[in-house]
Structure formats: C-alpha cells, structure tokens
Amino acid sequence: MGSPFDINGGACVAMVGKDCVAIACDLRLGMQALTISNNFPKIFNYAPSTYLGLTGLATDVNTVSDLFRYKVNMYRLREERHISPRPWPTCPVLAGINQTTGKPFICGFDSIGCIDFAKDFIVSGTASDQLFGTCEGLWEPDLGPEDLFETISQALLSAVDRDALSGWGAQVYIIEKDKVTQRLLKGRQD
C-alpha cells in the first residue's frame, strides 16, 4: 500500500493576480490506478471570496471540509460576520480576497499545519512536482482576471496530464473583489 496521500490522487493550485486570485483543482477520484469518479471537486467555498482546496486522502478531504464548514458556521453565528481568509491549521490550499482590505491572499499548508505564505502560487496534490514546473514557468506578476484564468488553467491541465493519478477534468474559480467566476474545464479523460 502506498502513502495515504497517493491513494485517491488529485491536484490543486492557487495563484495571485492583480486584485484577484484563482484557485483550481482536478476532478478525479481514484483508488490507486482505478478511476472511481470524474466529478470529485476538491475546492470548497466557506464565505464570499473564501475558497479552500483540499488534496490527499479523499475521506479526509470530506472530513476536513465538513469540519471546516462547521467551524466557519459557528464563527459566523458567534461573530455575526463572514470569515475572511486567514490561516487555519487544517487546510492545504487557501485562496481568497480579504473583504476588509481587498487584498488577494493565498496560502498553503502541509498536513500537520506548517504554513506557506506565498506571493505567487501554491500547489498541492500528487501532481505537485509537475505544478511547480508549470507554475514557475507560466506565472508572472500582476495578471488580470482573464489572463490569470488562462495561466492557471494551462498550468493545471498540463501538469495533471503528466500525472497518472490526477486529471479527468478541472474546476477553476476566479475570485475578484465582488465577483467570483466558476469555470469547468473538460481536459483529457484518460
């Protein structure tokens, strides 16, 4: 049996643009080499412009996303306001725009909570090596929403095509101050 991180497969990436951020994931759910589903999104929405991408063991993706939804709901009831993107010690990739400051924010975590604040991009999942290569090659500072969408999509699709455990379509969120665009990418089905 392999590492729990590699059983179900999956990839996630977030990028910063000019007054916007993007977060994208693939749609595959597998059991080792066998694909179970091609509709398993790994990005979850917790508040306006606060998105969380989770990769790794699928059961923990579900558990953490549910637990996080519970915690966020409790926060909203207690504080009587929406939660803003800031580090939480349970989430692998976080992307959003701070509603008060309007600043784009992304960060990543390892599974035991080490935070990685990045000014450019965050990658995670079984295709992380490939994503590091494509993002480092394609990303540039101050991309507008449309250019950022194209960049993150090309980076994700090309990366997952070189990873046997990721792919089968992708989902992309472009997050601006007061607008979120969700797009579904077909991608190779193999």
Partner 1 sequence: MTSLMDHQARETVGYSFSESTAGVKQHGFYPYTDNGGSTLGITGSDFAILAGDTRSTSGYNINSRMVPKVFKIGGDDETGEGANIILSVVGFAADGTALKERLDTVVKMYKYQHGKPMSVSACAQRLSTILYQKRFFPYYVHAILAGLDEEGKGALYSYDPVGSYEREQCRAAGAAASLIMPFLDNQVNFKNQYIPGSGEGHALVAKKPEPLPLETVKGLVRDAFTSAVERHIEVGDNLQMVIITKAGIEEVYHPLKKD
List residues near partner 1 by CB under 8 A.
1, 129-130, 132-134, 136-138, 153-154, 157-159, 161-162, 186-187
- Closer CB to partner 1, 136 or 142, in the complex: 136
Q: Give me the residues paired with residue 107 across strands.
A: 94, 117
CB of 133 to partner 1, least distance (A): 3
- Closer CB to partner 1, 18 or 188, in the complex: 188
CA atoms within 13 A on the CB side of 160: 31
CB of 29 to partner 1, least distance (A): 18
- Closer CB to partner 1, 98 or 154, in the complex: 154
- Closer CB to partner 1, 1 or 34, in the complex: 1
Whether 139 and 155 have beta carbons less than 8 Å apart is answered as yes
CB of 36 to partner 1, least distance (A): 17
CB of 97 to partner 1, least distance (A): 26
- Closer CB to partner 1, 33 or 77, in the complex: 33
* Helix, strand, coil abundance in the chain, percent, nearest 5: 25, 35, 40
Q: 185 φ, ψ to 5°? A: -105, 135
CB of 141 to partner 1, least distance (A): 15
Closest CA to 185 of 174, 177, 175: 174
Whether 15 and 139 have beta carbons less than 8 Å apart is answered as yes
Closest CA to 104 of 164, 23, 167: 23
